[in-house]
């Protein structure tokens, strides 16, 4: 028989009665607790110390991760929220604090409780399925966040378009128009927000345009105007997974400039905190682009060829 901690790690979380049904004894459970190989999440529930912290909080409260918290646990890059979203049965009682099983859940805890009529069979013991998590997002989050989450599940192929349509059929009528806004081309929620806000401003854009010698860029908004939304990996001080793209980005921008194109780069801070100025800068760039394009049609650009002057025979000393 495998060890108790191995059994729990394979399942994530197990109740005492689950362990007893698998043939483990109370004495074995106590030894594992005393050896700190497992710990008591809440009364009658056990896990291992290296379980995901968000999962521990959900089980300790008495429910399962849902909404954005569940989507994030599936590895999806979705907008982060301050609260941990936890689905709890409407009949549940004695909800505990997310960080202390000995006290009750209070309004000061960073927990958003989603009361549900019944628990679906999908997902895990500590999180709901992606379908149910996305439905919770559609029910309670604003348009931009909901569309960003829908785009993320399409981008990472965690839901097919058919399954996404099924989720929307379970959602209220007010969110149905959001279905056509989801795009598998959004590589991040920053791109989703920018794309939606371009549409709100009446600025049509092309997603992921391919430029020869450069590759794909985030958006094309004018004949020669492109926009890139830079996350943390574009910073020269990036220390996450994979190398920083700071130097390659500048090489790409140089190639674009040689070809007569312009790339505008914006950080998440600018997109989320200074959008009016970002939009004003892009609108000016597009206006200048259109004017310059019209001039180029009348006066095509011809690179100057530098010719070496021939030195006279006298100057060459002949």
pLDDT tens digits, 119-148: 777 788 999 999 999 999 999 999 999 999
Please give the tally of structural domains in the chain.
3
**Residue 25, SS3?**
coil
Q: Catalogue the E-assigned strands of the chain.
A: 14-15, 39-42, 45-47, 64-65, 84-89, 111-116, 206-207, 210-211, 215-216, 219-220, 225-230, 262-267
* Same-domain check for residues 140 and 213: no
- What percentage of the chain exceeds 90 in pLDDT? 77
* Same-domain check for residues 164 and 122: yes
Compute the Cα dihedral for 290, 295, 298, 301 and give only its sign. Answer: negative
Q: Is residue 142 situated within a structural domain?
A: yes
Q: Is 208 left (phi over 0), alpha (psi -120 to 50) or beta?
A: left
* Same-domain check for residues 201 and 240: yes
Q: Is residue 232 situated within a structural domain?
A: yes
Identify the domain boundary among 126, 157, 181.
181
* Same-domain check for residues 202 and 271: yes
Q: How does DSSP classify residue 118?
A: S
Q: Is residue 307 situated within a structural domain?
A: no
Q: Is residue 36 situated within a structural domain?
A: yes
* Same-domain check for residues 170 and 230: no
Identify the domain boundary among 132, 155, 181.
181
Range 152-156 average pLDDT: 96
The model carries a pTM of 0.86
Q: Is residue 304 situated within a structural domain?
A: no
* Same-domain check for residues 230 and 285: yes
Range 242-267 average pLDDT: 89
* Same-domain check for residues 237 and 260: yes
The span from the CA of 136 to the CA of 139, in Å, is 5
Supply the range of the domain harboring residue 134: 53-96+110-181
Compute the Cα dihedral for 69, 73, 74, 76 and give only its sign. Answer: positive
* Same-domain check for residues 293 and 247: yes
The span from the CA of 39 to the CA of 276, in Å, is 50
Q: Is residue 105 situated within a structural domain?
A: no
Q: Is residue 240 situated within a structural domain?
A: yes
* Same-domain check for residues 149 and 260: no
Q: Which structure tokens are listed for 117?
A: 């009529």
- What percentage of the chain exceeds 70 in pLDDT? 92
Residues β-bridged to residue 230: 267
Q: Is residue 313 situated within a structural domain?
A: no
Phi/psi at 62 (nearest 5 deg)?
Answer: 120, 20
Q: Which structure tokens are listed for 182?
A: 């989801």
Residue 229 sits in a domain of what CATH number?
Answer: 3.40.960.10
* Same-domain check for residues 291 and 205: yes
Longest dimension (CA), the chain: 107
Average pLDDT over the chain reads: 91
18: pLDDT strictly greater than 70: yes
State the pLDDT at residue 233.
65
* Same-domain check for residues 74 and 129: yes
> Quick check: 203 and 196 in contact, CB under 8 A?
no
State the pLDDT at residue 255.
95
Residues β-bridged to residue 42: 45
- Please name which of 64, 40, 50 lies closest in space to residue 6, comparing C-alpha atoms: 50
State the pLDDT at residue 311.
60
* Same-domain check for residues 82 and 174: yes
């Amino acid at each position: 028989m495998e060890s108790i901690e191995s059994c729990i790690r394979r399942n994530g979380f197990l109740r005492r009665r689950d362990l007893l049904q698998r043939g483990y004894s109370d004495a074995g459970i106590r030894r594992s607790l005393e050896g700190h190989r497992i710990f008591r999440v809440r009364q009658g529930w056990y896990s291992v110390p290296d379980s995901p912290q968000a999962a521990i909080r959900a089980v300790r409260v008495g429910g399962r991760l849902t909404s954005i918290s569940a989507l994030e646990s599936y590895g999806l890059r979705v907008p982060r929220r301050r609260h941990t979203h936890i689905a709890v049965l409407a009949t549940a009682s004695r909800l505990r604090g997310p960080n202390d099983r000995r006290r009750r859940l209070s309004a000061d805890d960073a927990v958003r409780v989603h009361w549900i009529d019944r628990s679906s069979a999908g997902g895990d013991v500590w999180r709901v399925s992606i379908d149910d998590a996305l439905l919770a997002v559609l029910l309670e989050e604003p348009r931009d966040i909901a569309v960003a989450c829908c785009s993320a599940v399409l981008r990472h192929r965690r839901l097919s378009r058919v399954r996404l349509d099924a989720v929307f059929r379970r959602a209220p009528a007010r969110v149905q128009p959001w279905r056509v806004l989801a795009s598998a081309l959004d590589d991040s929620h920053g791109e989703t927000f920018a794309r939606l806000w371009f549409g709100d401003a009446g600025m049509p854009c092309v997603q992921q345009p391919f430029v020869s010698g450069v590759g794909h860029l985030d958006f094309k908004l004018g004949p020669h105007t492109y926009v890139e939304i830079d996350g943390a990996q574009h910073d020269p001080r990036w220390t996450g997974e994979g190398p920083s793209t700071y130097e390659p980005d500048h090489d790409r921008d140089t190639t674009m400039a040689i070809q007569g194109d312009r790339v505008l780069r914006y950080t998440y801070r600018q997109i989320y905190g200074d959008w009016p100025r970002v939009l004003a800068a892009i609108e000016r760039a597009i206006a200048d682009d259109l004017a310059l394009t019209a001039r180029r049609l009348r006066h095509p650009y011809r690179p100057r060829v530098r010719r070496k002057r021939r030195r006279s025979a006298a100057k060459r000393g002949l």
